[in-house]
Amino acid sequence: MHTRGYVARTARTDLTPFDFERRELRPHDVALDVLFAGICHSDIHQAREEWGPSTFPMVPGHEIIGVVSAVGTDVTRFRVGERIGVGVFVDSCRRCEHCLAGLQQYCSEGMTPTYNSLERDGTTLAFGGYSNHFVIDEDYAVHVAETLDPAGAAPLLCAGITLYSPLRRWDAGPGRKVAIIGLGGLGHMGVQFAHAMGAEVTVFSHSATKSADALALGADHFVVTSDPEVLAAHDTRYDLIINATSADIDLNPYLRLLGLDGTLVIVGLSGVPVNIHQELLLAERRSLSGSQIGGMRELQEMMDFCAEHDITSQVEVIGADYINQAWERTVASDVKYRFVIDATTF
C-alpha cells in the first residue's frame, strides 16, 4: 500500500517527507487511514540515538488513531469504518507466559516495537505512525470510542497507558497520596487518571507556569522544583511517586518523600544511569521500580476508562511540515501538553 510519511535518515538530520510501501493485507491484518499521530518524547530519544544505536531510516510514531479502511479475510474484531488505535508495539511471540497473560510489553522474546525495529521476520523494517496509512495485525490494535476526540485520543496509546498501568499496579485510589514528577505528555495523563481513580494528586514540576493547568487537570497540589530549597522543605509522605520526566534528574530528594513501603516508579527514560542513596531505600522499606507502557488487555481497559470518564490528552494539532519545530519545542518543555500530527498533511 502506497504510504506517505516523515522519516529520520540519521541521528543528526531533520525529518523529511518519505514515500514507502506498507505490506498487503495478511488474513489477520487491518488497514487504517491514520487520522492523528502523537509526538512522544521517545520518538526524539530514539531518532537522536539517546538510548543507544537506532535503526534507520526511521519513521517514528507510536500514538496512532485511525479509521479502518480494509480488513483481511480472517479478521473478526474490526469492521471497515470503525475507529482504531495502535500503540508502542505491533507484535510479540504470542506464546510465552507474559504474552499469554496479556503482558506483551514484557514478552520473553521481546516485543516488536512499532518503529526503530525489525518485524518478526527479522528483515522488514517497521515504520511507525508519522504516516497516512498503517497496517496492523488485529490482535495488536484497540477499539477507540467515537465519543473521544480523535486528536486527543492519539496520545492515550503511549502517554496514557504508560501512566495508567503503574497507577493501577500500585493502587492509586481513595486514601492514597500520589505524586507525578513532570507535567509533560505522560505526566498530564497521569494527573487525570490518578484524580479519576480517587487519589490525592501532587505535581512536581520545574515549570512554574504550569500550576493552573495542573490544578485544572485534577491535581490537588503543585510544587515548583526549580528551587531545590522548596523540594528540601517539602514534608508530605507519599504512597506512590511516578517520575515522568524526560531529563536526567536527581531522584534522591523524591525517594525521601516516600512513606513506609512507598514506591518510586520510573517511567521517564532519559537514558542516563541514576545514582541512588541506598539508605533512602532502607530507611522506610521503600521501593524503586520501573514500568513500561501496558499490555493489550490493559490498553483496551484504559481506552474504555477514558471513554467512561471523558479523559483525553490536551493537544496542539500540527501539520507534518511542523514536526521538526515541534520536536525542538518538546525538548524545551514548551507544549501543552502533546503535539499531534494531522495525518491528512503527510
- Residue numbers at the binding site for ligand NAP (CB under 6 A): 40-42, 45, 158-159, 162, 182-186, 205-207, 210, 244-247, 249, 267-270, 291-293, 330, 333
Stretch that binds Zn ion, among 41-49, 115-123, 126-134, 326-334 (CB under 5 A): 41-49
User: Residue 155 CB, nearest distance to ligand NAP (Å)?
Assistant: 8
Q: Which does 5 bind (CB under 5 to 8 A by kind): ligand NAP, Zn ion, none?
A: none
Q: Which does 189 bind (CB under 5 to 8 A by kind): ligand NAP, Zn ion, none?
A: none
C-beta of residue 230 within 8 angstroms of C-beta of residue 223: yes
**R_g (Cα) of the chain, nearest Å:** 20
Cα gap 340→346, rounded to integer Å: 13
Angle at 272 (CA atoms; ends 201, 9), nearest 5 degrees: 105
Sign of the Cα torsion 182, 293, 153, 66 reads positive
Phi-psi region of 175 (alpha: psi -120 to 50; beta: other; left: phi over 0): left
Burial of 175: CB neighbours in 10 Å, binned 0-12, 13-18, 19+: exposed
Q: Does 158 sit near Zn ion (CB under 5 A)? A: yes
Q: Please name which of 123, 149, 130 lies closest in space to residue 47, comparing C-alpha atoms.
A: 130
Residue 6 vs 337, nearer CB to ligand NAP: 337
User: Residue 169 CB, nearest distance to Zn ion (Å)?
Assistant: 18
C-beta of residue 178 within 8 angstroms of C-beta of residue 154: no
C-beta of residue 346 within 8 angstroms of C-beta of residue 131: yes
C-beta of residue 111 within 8 angstroms of C-beta of residue 104: yes
- Count CB atoms within 10 A of the CB of residue 324: 14
Q: Which does 99 bind (CB under 5 to 8 A by kind): ligand NAP, Zn ion, none?
A: Zn ion
Q: Which does 205 bind (CB under 5 to 8 A by kind): ligand NAP, Zn ion, none?
A: ligand NAP
Residues 74-113 that bind Zn ion (CB under 5 A): 92-93, 96, 99, 107
Residue 42 vs 92, nearer CB to ligand NAP: 42
Measured from each CB, the residue nearest to ligand NAP is 184
- List the grid coordinates of 217: 487537570
- List the grid coordinates of 59: 519513521
3-class SS at 95? coil
Residue 172 vs 186, nearer CB to Zn ion: 186
Residue 34 vs 191, nearer CB to ligand NAP: 191
- Pick the binder of Zn ion from 32, 35, 39, 40 (CB under 5 A): 40
Q: Does 269 sit near Zn ion (CB under 5 A)? A: no
Angle at 71 (CA atoms; ends 70, 77), nearest 5 degrees: 130
H or E, element range at 46:
helix 41-47
Q: Does 25 sit near Zn ion (CB under 5 A)? A: no
Q: Which does 93 bind (CB under 5 to 8 A by kind): Zn ion, ligand NAP, none?
A: Zn ion
Q: Does 296 sit near Zn ion (CB under 5 A)? A: no
User: Residue 237 CB, nearest distance to ligand NAP (Å)?
Assistant: 22
User: Residue 286 CB, nearest distance to ligand NAP (Å)?
Assistant: 20
Residue 192 vs 225, nearer CB to Zn ion: 192
- Pick the binder of Zn ion from 42, 105, 116, 330 (CB under 5 A): 42
Q: Which does 207 bind (CB under 5 to 8 A by kind): ligand NAP, Zn ion, none?
A: ligand NAP
Q: Please name which of 149, 117, 166, 138 lies closest in space to residue 264, comparing C-alpha atoms.
A: 166
- List the grid coordinates of 2: 502506497
Q: Which positions lie near Zn ion, rule CB under 5 A?
A: 40, 42, 92-93, 96, 99, 107, 158
